[in-house]
A and B are shown apart, each in its own frame.
Chain A
């Protein structure tokens, strides 16, 4: 095993709580209805191509991508379209959502449902990207950036390394971990396809050291493939952040406001690699994903293969039911996930996990006076000064926040995690980013 690497400055190490790491991926039974939001990715919203009353099959296109930075949406079940209307999502905003009443499980004939490994690499690079775009694949780590956009290298730029984000630095989550253990061969083929599509010779899979079985498994498989290597990483949050991972693996720093390609890197999540394999080799659109359902008081923390649109309450039931003491339900990990207003909301492409917190851990500590201990400054992986942002934000000095580079903040929350006075640092920073974002937009509009 090669030497452990990590990014240099900042970061925190919250308790890992990987309760479901040993639970194999189970196929969740189909719900009675699915609720498929149209906007499940970063970018332009797609346009619905089905109407109420239409009969759809598994994998059928429901909504057509609304531009280059956008993604197709497919049906995850077979059945009848019941409605297309705004439904509240996890954060309470109403968003256009297609509701489908499930009838049977009839897949599109074009999808290859065999489990046999298809190692045929005889696909042209642009055909790979095209199939991935058609399948509506987005970053499954939670960022939901359309994958075909990443794979389309801008003219004048050149990629020289493909980095696979298998860090899973969020506490509790284990879906990527299980995917690596159970779908290693598919990942290897998927990586070769991706390497071909962007024309690089080298792939590095970054895995934190708390998953030694995954490191060993993929290292062994990678021996048979040229150019693919596994890099064990020291456990440190937020190593799964794109910039942090590139720094840890290559030592290069993505410039402020820049994209990974500016340092020659393309970063993809390991779960997305599996999805890409399935899209290219099996012609299977992205309509299901692996979701971790976990929590300290949950009877059976699990990893489920879930159809997109399945209500989160169904997942919780399958994991043993909602503990009576549940105080908070988080979509995603506890560091960057969103607290849900209800468990009726559906699993989307970016839902990597559902974490249930007992009521004793649901509320944040009472904020006290900042004692200027500098823990937030030391925790920030981007060299920013969270305490200063909080002070400027409280005083409405948003122009100063912009000068202090608040827009570099990736909202990892390390500052708030580290703060002994429990100051709501990230809340103030988010407020400031909102205001600064509006300032920048109005400035650009004037030009």
Chain B
């Protein structure tokens, strides 16, 4: 019979329909509720900053691959879109445009492409960019527009402080928690507070987490270990001294904790490769976040905690191995 050109390759001959692009698209979709809340509270600022951030990230990646590395462009995998979104979500929505572009350059150019592109970076690109901007532009990076009032303003928005900054400042003046002007739990849960573009609404971020879990884009280990550790640690501190330590709910709803736990710490490239390692990583992030918030000089600790634990990931992968099948002789 006619043996025309048959394809010969090694097994397996079937592949799952899952692709990098679909996974990244799931993350983009999961970020949309938080983006919608941000548009609702902050108006045009989030729109401009997000478009600019995503556009710059994609363009910078394309330009580097086209003209510097001279390789095929991989912007189609949407990973630069995710980085752009996360970066935008981590800055105030009134951030001047050139700072946003600079952030994209640090994220994509310095943190991602110079390490070899997708899959090879040690640190989360968006967080490195955020920390870079925080240190370089401390004023612009810590003036947050007031929700609702400044919907129609961009860089000229009225600004105020985040709840964590209010807490830090109040404590430094010797106030007790009950004397401070902190938003209600319900306001913080819905997103009615000052803060970075995408971190304000716990509800929207949790909806995103549900989407990521049901589409099996991420596993539960990292978010649960971080949230659990922060709740336990701040809970103990609060029980010991409730007048100088905020309660765990306050800590969970503020400072981008959920944004970090759900979307940033779970970045595939910079997190451990199996559940036991994920626990160590998540607990480490939780502990460091609380330590920085309570005893450090910055009001927020999430970004630093994730970066520090990113640097530990190679060690975790090297020394914590999954349990090999048949490792212990089965009891008979």
Chain B residues contacting A253 (CB-CB under 8 Å) are 325-328, 330
Stretch touching chain B among A30-38, A271-279, A284-292, A374-382: A374-382
User: Among B8, B11, B74, B117, which residue has its beta carbon within 8 angstroms of that of A413?
Assistant: B11
User: Among A338, A355, A365, which residue has its beta carbon within 8 angstroms of that of B15?
Assistant: A365
On whether the beta carbons of A339 and B8 are closer than 8 Å, the reply is yes
Chain A residues contacting B16 (CB-CB under 8 Å) are 12, 14, 417-420
Chain B contacts with A in 141-165, Cβ cutoff 8 A: none
Chain B contacts with A in 307-332, Cβ cutoff 8 A: 317, 321-332
Stretch touching chain A among B19-27, B96-104, B254-262, B287-295: B19-27
On whether the beta carbons of B268 and A373 are closer than 8 Å, the reply is yes
On whether the beta carbons of B15 and A417 are closer than 8 Å, the reply is yes
Mark contacts of B1-18 with chain A using CB atoms, 8 A cut-off: 1 yes-contact digit, 0 otherwise. Answer: 111001111111111101
Say yes or no: is B207 at the interface (Cβ < 8 Å to chain A).
Answer: no
A342, A368, A424: most-surrounded residue (chain B CB, <10 A): A368
On whether the beta carbons of A256 and B326 are closer than 8 Å, the reply is yes
Given A378-B274, A421-B20, residue A255 in contact with residue B326 (CB < 8 A):
yes
On whether the beta carbons of A371 and B79 are closer than 8 Å, the reply is yes
Say yes or no: is A264 at the interface (Cβ < 8 Å to chain B).
Answer: yes
Given A342-B3, A377-B322, residue A368 in contact with residue B20 (CB < 8 A):
yes
The CA of A73 and the CA of B88, in the complex, are separated in Å by 70
The CA of A421 and the CA of B269, in the complex, are separated in Å by 13
Chain A residues contacting B183 (CB-CB under 8 Å) are none
B12 to nearest A CB, angstroms?
3
Stretch touching chain B among A126-134, A221-229, A320-328: A320-328
Say yes or no: is A416 at the interface (Cβ < 8 Å to chain B).
Answer: yes
The CA of A317 and the CA of B2, in the complex, are separated in Å by 12
On whether the beta carbons of B15 and A255 are closer than 8 Å, the reply is no
Mark contacts of B51-91 with chain A using CB atoms, 8 A cut-off: 1 yes-contact digit, 0 otherwise. Answer: 00000000000000000000000100101000000000000
The CA of A97 and the CA of B89, in the complex, are separated in Å by 68
A427 to nearest B CB, angstroms?
5
Mark contacts of A294-328 with chain B using CB atoms, 8 A cut-off: 1 yes-contact digit, 0 otherwise. Answer: 00000000000000000001001100001000111
Say yes or no: is A341 at the interface (Cβ < 8 Å to chain B).
Answer: yes
User: Among A252, A336, A370, which residue has its beta carbon within 8 angstroms of that of B332?
Assistant: A252
Q: How many A residues have CB within 8 A of the partner chain?
A: 78
B321 to nearest A CB, angstroms?
7
Say yes or no: is A263 at the interface (Cβ < 8 Å to chain B).
Answer: yes
Say yes or no: is B138 at the interface (Cβ < 8 Å to chain A).
Answer: no
On whether the beta carbons of B74 and A385 are closer than 8 Å, the reply is no
On whether the beta carbons of B326 and A369 are closer than 8 Å, the reply is no
Given A254-B330, A374-B268, A381-B325, residue A363 in contact with residue B7 (CB < 8 A):
yes
Say yes or no: is A438 at the interface (Cβ < 8 Å to chain B).
Answer: no
Interface residues on B, range: 35 or more
Say yes or no: is B119 at the interface (Cβ < 8 Å to chain A).
Answer: yes
Say yes or no: is B118 at the interface (Cβ < 8 Å to chain A).
Answer: yes
Chain B residues contacting A12 (CB-CB under 8 Å) are 16
Say yes or no: is A387 at the interface (Cβ < 8 Å to chain B).
Answer: yes
On whether the beta carbons of B14 and A335 are closer than 8 Å, the reply is yes
The CA of A263 and the CA of B19, in the complex, are separated in Å by 40
User: Among B6, B19, B118, which residue has its beta carbon within 8 angstroms of that of A342?
Assistant: B6
Say yes or no: is A9 at the interface (Cβ < 8 Å to chain B).
Answer: yes
B14, B271, B326: most-surrounded residue (chain A CB, <10 A): B14
On whether the beta carbons of A14 and B14 are closer than 8 Å, the reply is yes
B306 to nearest A CB, angstroms?
16
A210 to nearest B CB, angstroms?
16
On whether the beta carbons of A420 and B22 are closer than 8 Å, the reply is yes
On whether the beta carbons of B269 and A372 are closer than 8 Å, the reply is yes
A364 to nearest B CB, angstroms?
6
On whether the beta carbons of A371 and B1 are closer than 8 Å, the reply is no
The CA of A365 and the CA of B269, in the complex, are separated in Å by 21
Say yes or no: is B206 at the interface (Cβ < 8 Å to chain A).
Answer: no
Say yes or no: is B231 at the interface (Cβ < 8 Å to chain A).
Answer: no
The CA of A126 and the CA of B6, in the complex, are separated in Å by 47
Say yes or no: is B273 at the interface (Cβ < 8 Å to chain A).
Answer: yes
On whether the beta carbons of B329 and A255 are closer than 8 Å, the reply is yes
B10, B16, B328: most-surrounded residue (chain A CB, <10 A): B16
Chain B residues contacting A355 (CB-CB under 8 Å) are 13
Chain B residues contacting A264 (CB-CB under 8 Å) are 332
B278 to chain A: closest residue by CB: A374
On whether the beta carbons of B332 and A263 are closer than 8 Å, the reply is yes
The CA of A424 and the CA of B274, in the complex, are separated in Å by 20
The CA of A418 and the CA of B238, in the complex, are separated in Å by 44
User: Among A251, A377, A417, which residue has its beta carbon within 8 angstroms of that of B273?
Assistant: A377
Chain A residues contacting B15 (CB-CB under 8 Å) are 364-365, 416-417, 419, 422
Say yes or no: is A167 at the interface (Cβ < 8 Å to chain B).
Answer: no
Chain B residues contacting A243 (CB-CB under 8 Å) are 325-326
Chain A residues contacting B8 (CB-CB under 8 Å) are 92, 328, 339-341
Given A371-B20, A387-B273, residue A256 in contact with residue B327 (CB < 8 A):
yes
User: Among B11, B79, B120, which residue has its beta carbon within 8 angstroms of that of A426?
Assistant: B11
Chain B residues contacting A362 (CB-CB under 8 Å) are 6-7, 13
Q: What are the 3 tightest A-B residue pairs by CB atom distance, in nearest-first order?
A: A413-B12, A362-B7, A382-B325
28 CB-based A-B contacts, threshold 8 Å: A15-B14, A92-B8, A251-B330, A252-B332, A254-B326, A255-B330, A322-B1, A322-B2, A328-B9, A329-B6, A330-B13, A335-B11, A337-B13, A338-B11, A339-B11, A341-B6, A342-B3, A343-B3, A355-B13, A364-B9, A369-B117, A371-B118, A372-B273, A383-B321, A383-B327, A384-B324, A408-B325, A411-B11
Q: A344-B1, A421-B119 are in contact. List 19 more A-B contacts (CB 8 A).
A: A14-B16, A15-B14, A251-B330, A258-B326, A264-B332, A329-B6, A334-B12, A339-B6, A369-B118, A371-B79, A374-B274, A380-B322, A382-B325, A383-B324, A385-B273, A388-B317, A405-B324, A420-B22, A421-B19
Report which B residues bind A (CB closer than 8 A). Answer: 1-3, 6-16, 18-20, 22-23, 74, 77, 79, 117-120, 219, 268-269, 271-274, 317, 321-332
